[in-house]
Structure 1
Amino acid sequence: MQHIDNVYFLGIGGIGMSALARYFNHLGKSVAGYDLTKTSLTEKLVTERIEVSYDENVSSFPSRFKKGNTLIVYTPAVPLNHKGFQWLKENDYTIYKRAQVLGMVCNSAKSIAVAGTHGKTTVSSMVSVILKESSLGCGAFLGGILKNYDSNLIVPENEKQWLVTEADEYDRSFLNLSPNMALVTAIDPDHLDIYGTLEELKKSFSDFVHQIKDGGKLIVKKDIGIHNFNSGEIEVFTYSLNEEASYYAKNIKAFGDGYNFDLATPSGVITNVILNFPGIVNVENAVAASALAMEAGASVDDLRNGLSKYQGVTRRFDIRFKNEKTLFIDDYAHHPKELEAVISSVKKLYIGKKITGVFQPHLFTRTRDFADEFAESLDLLDMPIVIPIYPAREEPIKGVTSEMIIRKMKNKNVIFLKMNEIVPWILENESDILMTLGAGSIDNIANEITEELERKYV
């Protein structure tokens, strides 16, 4: 990296890519990038003196970025026939995947990697707040905008501090990481377009675990369903919500939009831990983050202080609007297990309230592979609304549509809406609790809904 003066990102608007862009910008590199569409995130990057183009033609590429001192970083979301990508390859620029560059940065530091098919962003964000608010400090590359610091990047103050990152299983990206400490939250079937079978997915997680540095530590959710974690060179701990494990919660009590609980640890019970954040699933996430923080050297006071200050991540159980009539929650849930967890948490928190959920399926392959499971999770809603599939990197698959999920649902209230029908329907049909769910462009709908609710009620 010493000879690199410029870094160019193909797909700079992605949450992981933008964190890396901000990191290199902080290092004093000249940073620029391309993305397909303008978003609030790309506009924020521009205010940070990062150049962003929405034109894939070569003419938009900075002429000062010469191949001898420029690193090109790309994401799998950018198609290989992209004009700019093709031109950069033909002109012998140094090109790496995002995961490779993240590995280069993290593997040279004292790092913590959070893996799992869901929960990565919340757990990594929670442990980052605990460490950042302590004397230990930390850096972090996060998969969401952490509200405490309004960023997906925390810059480490020195090389001795922990560097927290999410370890993404998609495309086996996490095999580029070799952390000092790792945590695995869940291994549920996902990305079967890459892995084919659950066994192959489990094998990849096993390979990831074996890349933990000798003398390192692994924390896994109890009964995760994968074995051979311990090669003998690392310490292994377990965690759970409230079942006995190395780390687990006891005496969980809900209050307002948060929880009070005791944390059982290998060295004793920590009483009166406060999480000012809703959703029972987030107590489990807090246990996981606490385990990481304590094994990283955080004190009991650090733990209590950090968790009590945690403000959440955008699009993770994100309360966008609240008054005496309506509560609006936006969430990134895009896997059946995630949907089940967040909907169940809301039902437990707000007993007897009518819950309307707008779900945008993400990817044709995921919709095809998990249509039954999506139907079962969405049946938990009082008023399910399913909208068109967000394709992301994929081409359409014949016969795979949102109706595929709807046909399998038992809930007779379910309806299908087009994108332009969502906001008018919501404004005409009041609900105690409204949720937007999905990993695609539904965040734009969530912004529009928030504006309309504020206009209507404020």
Structure 2
Amino acid sequence: MELKNIHNVYFIGIGGIGMSALARYFKFIGKNVAGYDKTPTHLTDELKAEGINIHFEDNVALIALPYLNKENTLVVVTPAVPKDHLEWNYFLQNEFVVKKRAEVLGIITKGTFCFAVAGTHGKTTTSSILGHILYESGVDVTAFLGGIVENYDSNLIGSGKTVTVAEADEFDRSFLHLHPDIACVTSMDADHLDIYGDTASIEASFREFADKVEDKNHLFKTNGLPIEGVTVGVGTGAFSAVNVRIENGWYVFDAQTPSEVIKDIRFGLPGRHNLTNAMLALAMAKTYGVAGGDIAKALESFKGVRRRFSYQIKKPGLVYIDDYAHHPTEIDAVYQAVTELYPNEKVLAIFQPHLFSRTRDFADGFAKSLSQFENIVLLDIYPARELPIEGVTSQWLLDKIENDNKRLVSKADLLQVVKLTDATVVVTIGAGDIGEMVPDIKKVVDEKV
């Protein structure tokens, strides 16, 4: 089935961050779009407001008639949907064209000049920065993103037809469906061991992705990764941030590239990991041909990604930050940024573990990362697509944390805990439904002044 012959696109799991970007894209190019998701969220509310029909009950009878015509309907499914899903099985049994999100992204980007951003951490921020640079510089681009970019209040940037930016997701080996012309790998830490089994299998999959880029001068990587490519970093590599300083909460730095030094770039996202993300985006844009001055201008105007070190409150003596971190390395990055910016403040970190398998596989890493914070509150594990694993609980994780100021709290009691804390910096961390609680937490923190 060619995209031009598709009139209707039906999404099973439309509320997912990557799925919703595709839904917005198809709606934008004039297709009929509808879908199912398990629960309403802020994102499904936004999609409905944009004219997309969504229901929340797994019931074939709720699917509108146009989407039951298999001749011109594409069904897109997320890997998170269980195998016994009634709607999914209906479409399979009736021989509809059913594709995974990654396959559809591969089809869309195949006929374009494709930038692909891979890595176990930093994909969303790096691809969002890159999409913003290209769009602001006048490139005919569409960027499909795994987060809501503050500048655009969307996970889709642009409406270009010749250049695409895509997050190359390693989950379920999805990134192997892409056809990158320029790519980067931000990191290759162990993750998704429920899919891969071990670190060696993850690294092999990343190498297979990297091999898709024929010209290794168009493949960028951070220092120390076991793949061939151009090294990018802070104080290291062919593209390097040097002379880094902090001025009024901004990073100011010079970007050393093989062809020039771009002086006094201003960048507003905290944390050394975000400087690296910015340099990766800079390296890819510069290699494509964007002028250094245009890159610097775009980096200064980039406002960040929702739930990536996202300031909810930023007042003298009171700060609330929300972050999507769900891996020990990401929590370390949050801690580094918080302590660099607020070295003398009392910090409360609230963490919701994501997936029983990930909590089991990285329990010692989570405990070590969380122990760094002065005060820690744990919520119960967010299961997402998984069933409980015996013995793997937040209490089990809490017992591993070497810190006296720690406690396990139910979601129902969390607001009261936040209300009573004397911390001047509050940080919420996690990839589960803690993101849905942010507005309520913000309200409670705001009332503390």
Q: CA offset at residue 2 of structure 1? A: 2.1
User: Does structure 2 retain, via aligned residues, the 8 Å contact 1:279–1:345?
Assistant: yes
Whether contact under 8 Å (1:128, 1:139) holds in the other structure is yes
On the 8 A contact 2:135/2:158 being kept in 1, the answer is no
1:273 aligned to 256, 265, 285, which one? Answer: 265
Separation (CA, whole Å) in 2 of partners of 1:158 and 1:81 = 37
- 8 A contact 1:423–1:445 mirrored in 2: no
Residue 442 in 1 paired to residue 431 in 2? no
Partner amino acid, structure 1, of 2:34: A
Q: How does 1:140-151 map to 2 (within 5 A)?
A: 140-151=143-154
Aligned counterpart, 2:443? 451
- The answer as to whether partners of 2:325 and 2:429 remain within 8 angstroms in 1 is yes
Q: Give me the whole-angstrom Cα distance separating, in 2, the residues matched to 1:115 and 1:105.
A: 18
Cα distance in 2 between the residues matched to 1:189 and 1:301:
37
Q: Which amino acid aligns with 2:29?
A: L
Measured against aligned partners, the alpha-carbon deviations of 1:118-156 in whole angstroms (never above 9, x if no partner) come to: 000011111111111113242100000001111101233
Q: Does residue 134 of structure 2 align to residue 131 of structure 1?
A: yes
The alignment status of 1:386 with 2:378, answered yes or no, reads yes
**Which of 107, 113, 117 is 1:114 aligned to?**
117
Paired residue for 2:40?
38
Q: What residue in structure 2 maps to residue 166 of structure 1? A: 167
| Conserved 8 A contact 1:156-1:163 | no
1:157 aligns with 2:157: no
The correspondence for 2:329, drawn from 332, 337, 343, is 337
Tell me the residue number matched to 2:251.
Answer: 259
Give 1:298-313 correspondences, 5 Å limit. Answer: 298-313=290-305
Structure 1 counterpart of 2:5: 3
Q: Do 1:180 and 1:216's aligned partners in 2 also have CA atoms closer than 8 Å?
A: no
1:52 aligns with 2:44: no
Equivalent in the alignment of 2:391? 399
Structure 2: 5+ residue stretches without partners: none
2:92 aligned residue: 89
Which of 242, 260, 281 in structure 2 is aligned with 1:250?
A: 242
C-alpha deviation, 1:455, in angstroms = 4.4
1:143–1:184 CA distance, 2 compared to 1 (3 A): same
How many Å separate the matches in 2 of 1:445 and 1:258?
28
Q: What pairs with 1:348-427 in structure 2 (closer than 5 Å)?
A: 348-427=340-419
**Partner secondary structure for residue 305 of structure 1:** helix
How far apart are the structure 2 equivalents of 1:299 and 1:214?
21
Secondary structure of the structure 1 residue equivalent to 2:66: coil
Q: What is the DSSP-based 3-state SS (H/G/I as helix, E as strand, rest coil) of the residue aligned with 1:407? A: helix
Once the two structures are superposed, residues 282-302 of structure 1 have per-residue CA deviations (whole angstroms, 9 ceiling, x without a partner) of 112111111111111110111
Shift of 1:256: 2.4
In structure 2, what is the Cα distance between the partners aligned to 1:299 and 1:388? 48
Cα distance in 1, alignment partners of residues 333 and 268 from structure 2: 19
Alpha-carbon distance in structure 2 between the residues aligned to 1:415 and 1:214: 51
Whether contact under 8 Å (1:281, 1:342) holds in the other structure is no
* Distance in 2, Cα, partners of 1:283 & 1:188: 19
**8 A contact 1:178–1:213 mirrored in 2:** no
Residue 66 of structure 2 corresponds to residue 64 of structure 1: yes
Length, aligned pairs only: 446
TM-aligned CA deviation for residue 345 of structure 1: 1.2
Q: Unaligned stretches of 5+ in structure 1? A: 230-235
Amino acid at match of 1:154: I
In structure 2, what is the Cα distance between the partners aligned to 1:441 and 1:23? 25
Name the CA distance, whole Å, in 1 between partners of 2:318 and 2:413.
20
Equivalent residue number for residue 208 of structure 2? 207
Find the counterpart in structure 2 of residue 232 from structure 1: none
Q: Is the 8 A contact 2:140 2:161 kept in 1?
A: no
Assess if the C-alpha contact under 8 Å between 1:148 and 1:312 holds in 2: yes
Normalised by the length of structure 2, the TM-score is 0.97
Matched, 1:239 2:239: no
Deviations 1:417-443 (A, max 9, x none): 111111111001121110000000010
For normalisation by structure 1, the TM-score amounts to: 0.95
Deviations 1:160-218 (A, max 9, x none): xx211100000100011111011000000111111111111000000011112568710
Q: Distance in 2 between matches of 1:254 and 1:73?
A: 45
